[in-house]
């Protein structure tokens, strides 16, 4: 008989824990909650991610700075502000709906920007345009409610 009461005691101890887990699973947003954002907000996020990727590619290719600092900074901002990551934005808000395809496209687009080489990019206005685009993207994300 003691084995039966022991099982009942264990089940009664687990019941409040299971109830809390169930309540949290209902209250916390699911992974697809990012799709609930308005289209204008999604567009702001897409543009910011594209800008960070382009600037990081330029820095890696032309300045030997492969840190990905701008993507990291944007990722921190997205996590703190919206509880999203860049990969979530790439996976759910870009037309491809696949972060690997998005990253490949961004890589190809960035390489096309530097088709004339780094010297031309540094002498021209491309570097400044990329920085301005990134700053505007970050400012737009910071301005989101």
Residue 106: inside a domain, yes or no? Answer: yes
Distance CA 114, CA 119 (A): 9
Identify which has the larger pLDDT, 25 or 127.
127
Which domain range does residue 63 map to? 31-143
Is the pLDDT at 38 greater than 70, yes or no?
yes
Residue 73: inside a domain, yes or no? Answer: yes
- The whole-model pTM stands at 0.75
Residue 3: inside a domain, yes or no? Answer: no
Residues near 91 by Cβ (< 8 Å), separated by ≥ 6? Answer: 97, 98, 99, 102
CB 74 within 8 A of CB 141: yes
What is the Cα 70 distance to its own chain's centre? 12
Total domains, the chain: 1
State the pLDDT at residue 123: 87
State the pLDDT at residue 124: 84
Residue 21: inside a domain, yes or no? Answer: no
Residue 110: inside a domain, yes or no? Answer: yes
Residue 98: inside a domain, yes or no? Answer: yes
Residue 49: inside a domain, yes or no? Answer: yes
State the pLDDT at residue 32: 47
Supply 124's token pair: 């021209």
The candidate with the shortest Cα–Cα distance to 45, out of 135, 127, 122, 144, is 144
Residue that is written with structure tokens 């084995």 in the block = 3
Long-range contacts (CB closer than 8 Å, 24 or more residues apart) made by 28-34: 29/83, 31/88, 32/92, 34/82, 34/84, 34/88, 34/89, 34/92, 34/93
Residue 26: inside a domain, yes or no? Answer: no
pLDDT in tens, 62-93: 999 888 999 999 999 999 999 999 999 999 99
With H, G, I as helix, E, B as strand and everything else as coil, classify residue 111.
helix
């Amino acid at each position: 008989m003691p084995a039966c009461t022991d099982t009942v005691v264990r089940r009664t101890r687990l019941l409040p824990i299971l109830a809390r887990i169930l309540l949290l699973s209902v209250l916390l947003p699911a992974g697809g909650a990012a799709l609930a954002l308005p289209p204008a907000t999604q567009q702001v996020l897409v543009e910011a991610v594209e800008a960070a990727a382009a600037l990081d590619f330029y820095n890696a290719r032309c300045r030997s700075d492969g840190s990905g600092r701008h993507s990291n900074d944007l990722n921190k901002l997205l996590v703190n502000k919206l509880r999203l990551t860049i990969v979530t934005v790439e996976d759910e808000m870009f037309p491809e709906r696949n972060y690997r395809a998005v990253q490949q496209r961004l890589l190809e687009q960035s390489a096309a920007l530097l088709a004339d080489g780094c010297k031309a990019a540094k002498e021209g206005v491309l570097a400044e345009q990329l920085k301005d685009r990134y700053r505007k993207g970050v400012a737009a994300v910071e301005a989101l409610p």
